[in-house]
C-alpha cells in the first residue's frame, strides 16, 4: 500500500508561501486601483485589478510617504512589488515598494493633482490677487544667497534705481527642506519686515530641482501673504504651482527685477515731462479763468445798475403803498365812527329786543311751515299704505282665500289635476296653516 503524505494546514500554507515568495521575489505589476483605504496607521490597503482579475495589495507607511501624489480609485499605476502570503487567512497579496501613474511621471501627476485641488479652492482666482506697487520703497527677496538669481536681481534693481532698499532672506531652493524654509521665510517677511513686495525666485532646473515651489505648503503661504508676491522660478517655459498662486508671475528672476522697479532716469524724465505738461495745462486754465472773471465783472456791473433801478422802483412803490394804506385806514376809521354814533344813539337793549322779536317771528313761521309739511306727507303715506295693503297677498287671504303648496317641495298648486292620492299638502290661511293628505 502506497504511503500518502498528509499536510497540516499550516505546513501547506508555509510551503505555498515559500514557493510563491521565492518564485516572485521582485516584479512589476500594472493595474487599476480600487477600494483604496487609509486607516490611522497610514498604510494604503487597496485592490489592484484589470478587466478579468484582481489581487489585494498593501503599501506600508514607510513606503508611501515618498509619494508626491495621493493615490485614488480608478487610477492606473505600475507598481514595483513582491508577492507575500498572509498565513492567518491563507491569502496572498502584493507588497508595494514603489508606484508610478501609468503614462505620466509621479511628479507630473502630483503637480496636476495639486493644481486641480488648489484651483477648485480658488487660490488661482484673479480677483484675489494683490496689486504690485508702482514704485516700492523696500523689496524682500527670498532665494538662495549663492545662486545666480540673487545676483541678477540685485544688479538689475541697483542699476535701474540706485539706493533701493533690498532685503535678502536666504533659503534652500531645492531638496527636502527647501519648501519648509520657503514657507518660514514668507511668514517671517509678513510678520517682521515692512516690505512693499516680495520676489520669490531661483534659476532654472529640472522638475525635481523646482519641486519645492510645487509644494502645497509654499502655495498656501504665498496665498496667505499680506505682502504682494512675485514668482520668478526657473526659465520662461517653466511653470510651478507658485506661479499660479502668486500675485504676479515673472518668466525669470531678471524679469522680476525689471517688473518691480522702473528705471530711475526714465521715471525722472517722465516726471519732468508731466510737470511741463501740468504747467502748460495750468497756464491754459488760468487764462481761461481770467477771461471768465472779466466776463463776470462785466456781467456783475450790469446787474448792479439794474439793482439800483429796482431799488428806485421799490422806493416809489413803497410810497404809493403807504399812501393807499393810509387812505383806506381813514375810510375805515370814518365807518367805525359812524357805527359808533349809531350805537350810542340807540341803547343796546333796544337793539337786542328788536332782534329777539325778529327771531321769534321767524321761529313761528318755520314751525307752521314744518307742521303743514308733516301733515301733507302723513296723508300721502296713509294713501300709499292703503294701496299697498290692497295689493298684498295677505290681504287676499283675509278675504277667505288660501295658498296650497305640495310637500315637501313647497310648490304652489294651481291645478288639482297634478295631485294624486297620498300626496301631502300645506294650506296657508290668513291666520295659521294646515297640513293635509289627498285621499
Domain-embedded: residue 284: no
C-alpha to C-alpha distance for 353 and 362, rounded to whole angstroms: 14
Per-residue model confidence (pLDDT) at position 120:
92
138 lies in the same domain as 229: yes
Element (DSSP H or E) covering residue 342: helix 264-345
Domain-embedded: residue 295: no
375 lies in the same domain as 246: no
Residue 38 C-alpha cell reads as: 487609509
Domain-embedded: residue 310: no
Domain-embedded: residue 299: no
In the predicted model, what is the mean pLDDT of the chain?
Answer: 85
Q: What are the two backbone dihedrals, phi and then psi, of residue 312, each rounded to the nearest 5 degrees?
A: -65, -40
Per-residue model confidence (pLDDT) at position 217:
93
Cell 294651481 sits at which residue?
414
Per-residue model confidence (pLDDT) at position 1:
52
Mean pLDDT of 203-214: 85
Domain-embedded: residue 52: yes
Domain-embedded: residue 424: yes
Query: Which domain, by its residues, includes 371?
Result: 346-388
Count of domains in the chain? 4
Residue 241 C-alpha cell reads as: 504651482
Residue 232 · residue 240 · CB < 8 Å: no
Is pLDDT larger for residue 320 or for residue 267? 320
58 lies in the same domain as 14: yes
Per-residue model confidence (pLDDT) at position 212:
92
Mean pLDDT of 77-88: 86
Cα dist from 144 to 152, 173, 213, 247, 430, whole Å: 12, 6, 13, 21, 125
Is pLDDT larger for residue 229 or for residue 328? 229
Final residue of a structural domain among 194, 226, 260? 260
Per-residue model confidence (pLDDT) at position 229:
94
Nearest to 409 by CA among 387, 428, 426: 426
427 lies in the same domain as 367: no
Q: What are the two backbone dihedrals, phi and then psi, of residue 318, each rounded to the nearest 5 degrees?
A: -65, -40
61 lies in the same domain as 148: no
83 lies in the same domain as 205: no
Per-residue model confidence (pLDDT) at position 187:
94
Mean pLDDT of 300-313: 81
Final residue of a structural domain among 103, 130, 161? 103
Nearest to 163 by CA among 261, 93, 74: 261
Per-residue model confidence (pLDDT) at position 197:
94
Angle subtended at Cα 428 by Cα 422 and Cα 431, rounded to the nearest 5 degrees: 140
134 lies in the same domain as 247: yes
Residue 349 C-alpha cell reads as: 337793549
pTM for the whole thing?
Answer: 0.49
DSSP alpha helix (H) spans, 161-215: 178-192
Nearest to 217 by CA among 258, 250, 181: 181
Give yes or no for residue 113 having a pLDDT over 60.
yes
423 lies in the same domain as 356: no
90 lies in the same domain as 174: no
50 lies in the same domain as 172: no
139 lies in the same domain as 248: yes
Sheet holding 229-233, edge to edge: 165-170, 138-143, 197-202, 229-233, 248-249
226 lies in the same domain as 162: yes
Domain-embedded: residue 89: yes
Final residue of a structural domain among 234, 260, 286? 260
Number of H helices, E strands in the chain: 11, 14
Query: CATH no. for residue 178?
Result: 3.40.50.261
pLDDT band at 198 (very low <50, low <70, confident <90, very high): very high
Lowest mean pLDDT among 169-178, 212-221, 297-306: 297-306
Query: CATH no. for residue 78?
Result: 2.40.50.140
Mean pLDDT of 54-66: 89
DSSP assignment string, 269-288: HHHHHHHHHHHHHHHHHHHH
Give yes or no for residue 230 having a pLDDT over 90.
yes
Give yes or no for residue 123 having a pLDDT over 80.
yes
Domain-embedded: residue 213: yes
Per-residue model confidence (pLDDT) at position 140:
93
Amino acid at each position: 500500500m502506497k504511503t500518502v503524505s498528509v499536510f497540516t494546514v499550516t505546513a501547506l500554507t508555509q510551503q505555498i508561501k515559500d514557493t510563491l515568495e521565492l518564485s516572485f521575489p521582485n516584479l512589476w505589476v500594472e493595474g487599476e486601483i480600487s477600494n483604496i483605504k487609509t486607516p490611522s496607521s497610514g498604510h494604503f490597503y487597496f485592490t489592484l485589478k484589470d478587466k478579468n482579475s484582481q489581487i489585494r495589495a498593501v503599501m506600508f507607511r514607510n513606503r508611501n510617504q515618498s509619494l508626491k501624489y495621493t493615490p485614488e480609485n480608478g487610477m492606473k499605476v505600475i507598481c514595483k512589488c513582491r508577492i507575500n502570503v498572509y498565513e492567518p487567512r491563507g491569502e496572498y497579496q502584493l507588497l508595494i515598494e514603489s508606484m508610478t501613474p501609468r503614462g505620466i511621471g509621479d511628479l507630473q501627476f502630483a503637480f496636476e493633482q495639486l493644481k486641480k485641488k488648489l484651483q477648485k479652492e480658488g487660490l488661482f482666482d484673479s480677483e484675489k490677487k494683490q496689486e504690485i506697487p508702482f514704485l516700492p520703497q523696500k523689496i524682500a527677496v527670498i532665494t538662495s544667497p549663492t545662486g545666480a538669481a540673487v545676483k541678477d536681481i540685485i544688479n538689475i534693481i541697483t542699476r535701474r534705481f540706485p539706493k533701493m532698499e533690498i532685503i535678502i532672506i536666504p533659503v534652500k531652493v531645492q531638496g527636502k527642506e527647501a519648501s519648509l524654509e520657503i514657507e518660514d521665510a514668507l511668514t517671517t517677511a509678513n510678520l517682521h519686515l515692512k516690505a512693499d513686495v516680495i520676489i520669490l525666485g531661483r534659476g532654472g532646473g529640472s522638475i525635481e530641482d523646482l519641486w519645492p515651489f510645487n509644494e502645497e505648503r509654499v502655495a498656501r503661504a504665498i496665498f496667505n501673504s499680506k505682502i504682494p508676491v512675485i514668482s520668478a522660478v526657473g526659465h520662461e517655459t517653466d511653470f510651478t504651482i507658485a506661479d499660479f498662486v502668486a500675485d504676479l508671475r515673472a518668466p525669470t528672476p531678471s524679469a522680476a527685477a525689471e517688473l518691480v522697479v522702473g528705471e530711475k532716469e526714465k521715471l525722472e524724465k517722465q516726471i519732468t515731462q508731466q510737470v511741463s505738461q501740468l504747467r502748460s495745462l495750468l497756464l491754459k486754465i488760468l487764462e481761461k479763468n481770467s477771461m471768465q472773471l472779466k466776463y463776470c465783472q462785466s456781467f456783475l456791473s450790469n446787474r448792479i445798475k439794474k439793482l439800483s433801478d429796482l431799488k428806485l422802483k421799490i422806493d416809489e412803490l413803497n410810497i404809493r403803498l403807504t399812501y393807499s394804506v393810509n387812505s383806506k385806514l381813514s375810510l375805515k376809521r370814518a365807518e367805525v365812527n359812524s357805527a359808533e354814533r349809531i350805537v350810542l344813539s340807540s341803547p343796546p337793549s333796544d337793539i337786542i329786543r328788536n332782534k329777539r322779536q325778529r327771531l321769534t317771528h321767524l321761529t313761528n313761521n318755520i314751525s307752521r311751515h314744518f307742521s303743514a309739511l308733516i301733515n301733507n306727507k302723513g296723508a300721502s303715506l296713509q294713501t300709499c299704505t292703503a294701496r299697498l295693503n290692497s295689493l298684498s297677498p295677505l290681504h287676499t287671504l283675509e278675504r277667505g282665500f288660501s295658498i296650497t303648496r305640495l310637500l315637501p317641495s313647497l310648490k304652489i298648486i294651481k291645478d288639482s289635476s297634478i295631485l294624486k292620492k297620498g300626496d301631502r299638502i300645506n294650506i296657508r290661511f290668513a291666520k295659521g296653516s294646515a297640513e293635509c293628505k289627498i285621499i
